[in-house]
Amino acid sequence: MIYGIGIDLVKIQRMKEVVEKWGQKFLERVFTKGEIAYCYEKKVPYLSLAVRFAAKEALIKAIGSAVPVSLTDIEVMNVETGKPLLKINGKLEEFFQEKSIIHVHLSLSHEHEYGVACVVLEQ
What does pTM read for this prediction?
0.96
In this prediction, residue 65 carries a pLDDT of: 79
pLDDT tens-digit map of 12-70: 999 999 999 999 999 999 999 999 999 999 999 999 999 999 999 999 999 997 788 99
Q: How much is the mean pLDDT over the chain? A: 96
33, 56, 61, 91: the catalytic one is: 61
Q: Give residue limits of the domains in the chain.
A: 2-122
Three-state secondary structure string covering the chain: CEEEEEEEEEEHHHHHHHHHHHHHHHHHHHCCHHHHHHHHCCCCHHHHHHHHHHHHHHHHHHHCCCCCCCHHHEEEEECCCCCEEEEECHHHHHHHHHCCCCEEEEEEEECCCEEEEEEEEEC
Does the annotation count 61 as an active-site position? yes
In this prediction, residue 107 carries a pLDDT of: 98
Instruction: Tell the CATH topology of 2-122.
Output: Ribosomal Protein L22; Chain A (3.90.470)
33, 56, 110, 112: the catalytic one is: 110
Residues above pLDDT 90, as percent of the chain? 96
Does the annotation count 105 as an active-site position? no
